[in-house]
Structure 1
């Protein structure tokens, strides 16, 4: 095991440094960490800025105050693999490496769903992207978007855990205060109960959301309730990206892809979020 780990460390790092050193030179006492840090600094102009939690909060506040649509969606490994199937990886590879996708709302192959997801990313106001450089996270971000004709550098970006950042900084409760909230997803009833117990106005619940086939029904129900909510929290797996984007684009609403934070809040003691 240790030998395999050492080989992985070498081939994934030190060997690349070894190959990059020009002939006639030695890397001497340079460490891989030093080289990477220097390289990142040299490439700083190519790094993509991320809007922090305060910036996302203020974007929501401004949009709500001015009656403008805003959607904040998030791309994790599920969303990226959904975009990547039969575009970066074949569908069988994605099925094998990501058996959780069906539970997250997408049964591959589904090219129509992939196209719908890609369009939602293009339409979104702000897109959360992973910081992790693991294989199906940061490493897949560029290829998955490019394979669907999405220019990563044209997007306004935040971190993919922006939902938790808003929650942990207390900005989520400030955003919800005094606003009519629609909650969407399988955890919506429990989430709605906790929010109401904590004094927030939940004016609608749409549940369940059974994957991509349910998106149009959910949007139809939201359309019927469009005059009764200001902000939507959408916790519906991969379809949440599409739903949040459509709520903003079609109805001029504010929508946040809420993810598993809905389950966390639903599990809190009564009166607490």
Structure 2
């Protein structure tokens, strides 16, 4: 079952497909992360975080560009402000940083569905998602250096996904990489033919949604927290998480179902 939220006035299409929430950037050709787009995405994610019926979130885009980054026309227009645009620049960078962190902190997995160009903050958006699947025609870049604006905020997400050498290559040259290279670098999970993109993404979503939502929540939070720790602290933390997870009803149900060779019935507790 698919339900579409009426959001005609905004740049984001919001749909429900069973337990998956699909957020489609719909302001082509660039699908830029304007202040309005960031606000719409933030609002949708905030609602999803508290909606027990949402198990997975997919971020997709309409048109040939996934997301070209920030709206440079919008930003340039604010140079006419009394402070030369500084307040607006601070506000939009803060809002964008909050959005990217909200994706990481969301207690449900977020999958990027990339059918075209993902550039600058658009590449940052891909890197911030838990999983990323693209077509073989998609390209990725952090080209700010070409216009005198180093992609410093995209760098944060990029450097946490791929090796430092690959990240610096993208940041220093500003050149596009193809989908095959992005997969080799570790920026995306899979490359599929264009006609199968949504089907494959939704298969991933369906598989994840079949798991215990509580276990997924515990695991996602633990993954990102331990990644910032040293080895000893990470094992101490993960061991405690494992014990707490074992004490949940869903863990008991899952183990019993496995032993009894039946399908588990998740309660989310």
- Is TM-score (shorter-chain normalized) higher than 0.5? no
Bucket of the pairwise TM-score, normalised by the shorter protein: under 0.3
Q: TM-score, normalised by structure 1?
A: 0.26
Q: TM-score, normalised by structure 2?
A: 0.26
